[in-house]
Amino acid sequence: MLKYTFRYFLVASFIFFVSCAKDDDSQETNNPTKSANRQGTGDSANDFLSEDNFTDLVIEVVYVEGFEPSQSSLDNLVSFINQRCYKSGGVEINKRSIVSPNKELFTIEEIDSIEKEIRTHYNSGSRLALFAFFVDGEYKDNDENSVVLGVAYRNTSFVIFEETIQKFSNDFTEPSRVLLESTVYRHEFSHLLGLVDLGSEMQADHLDTENGHHCDVETCLMNYRVESGINVGGMISEENIPKLDSQCLADLRANGGR
């Protein structure tokens, strides 16, 4: 999960933590086509990283009308996937809109229930399926000091609170929308890749034990708080998206990634 902590001066500070959703819904368990995509966060890390089981990836992008993710941010995610994962068959984006669920606040359980109704792509043959949901409401547990921007809640699913991202970007005191989106997308996808200690075994201890499945290197994309380089004057180019540090990269390579 990714939280945004407000600072109204020169630095925008990100706080990250993961939320893993697992259930034993009997209907899903008895449907092998769907159950493979309804496991815990990080359980499909090797499937994303390697070609042992899947040679290509389809990203099912579903967004509420009026809250379409920017194409540049989706392109940045695909670029990140190609940098870290072996998918010789390519990465395809399948994008469509839905009408608003007409909810102001969402729990992850509610997001998960909506996914059950609207998801159409599941693992099939050599193709791995990722579900990315962009909603118009806010996370239920937001408070006046911080808001959640995204959550990786299944092994092949994450949700982005796009309305919140649009609300807190593109102002002169705030990050650009593309940078904020790209950071959130990459962070949540990296949890699906098993970071940190969430399906991709650590090669050296770099787990931030006080903040869940996050890296203890301050400048890493997977640190609970990313501050280095996130300033108003330099938040407009892809180069300023926080990067994975060497220890996170070692974990991914040891689990079959690039």
Split into its structural domains, the chain has a count of 1
pLDDT digits (tens, 9 = 90+) for 71-94: 999 999 999 999 999 999 999 999
Please indicate whether residue 14 or residue 64 has the higher confidence score (pLDDT). Answer: 64
* Nearest in space to 258 (alpha carbons), one of 200, 187, 183: 200
Provide, rounded to the nearest whole percent, the portion of the chain with pLDDT above 90.
Answer: 66
pLDDT at 2 over 80: no
Instruction: Say which residues have a Cβ less than 8 Å from residue 7's Cβ, sequence separation at least 6.
Output: 13
> What pTM was computed for the model?
0.86
Provide the pLDDT for residue 6: 46
R_g of the chain computed on alpha carbons:
17
Print the domain residue range for 234: 2-254
Provide the pLDDT for residue 171: 72
Domain CATH number, residue 173: 3.40.390.10
| pLDDT interval class at 180 (50, 70, 90) | confident
Provide the pLDDT for residue 16: 38
pLDDT at 20 over 90: no
**Residue range 18-47: mean pLDDT, rounded:** 71
Provide the pLDDT for residue 228: 32
Q: Which of 112-116, 186-190, 234-238 has the lowest mean pLDDT?
A: 234-238
**Residue range 181-209: mean pLDDT, rounded:** 95
DSSP per-residue string spanning the chain: -EEEE---SSB-EEEE---------HHHHT-HHHHTTSS-TTTTHHHHH-SSS-SEEEEEEEEETT-PPPHHHHHHHHHHHHHH---TTEEEEEEEEE-----SEE-HHHHHHHHHHH-----BTTEEEEEEEEESSEETT--SSEEEEEEEEETTEEEEEHHHHHHTSSSTTS--HHHHHHHHHHHHHHHHTTTTTSSS--SS--B-GGGSS-BS-TTSTTBSEE-TT-BGGG-SSGGGS----HHHHHHHHHTT--
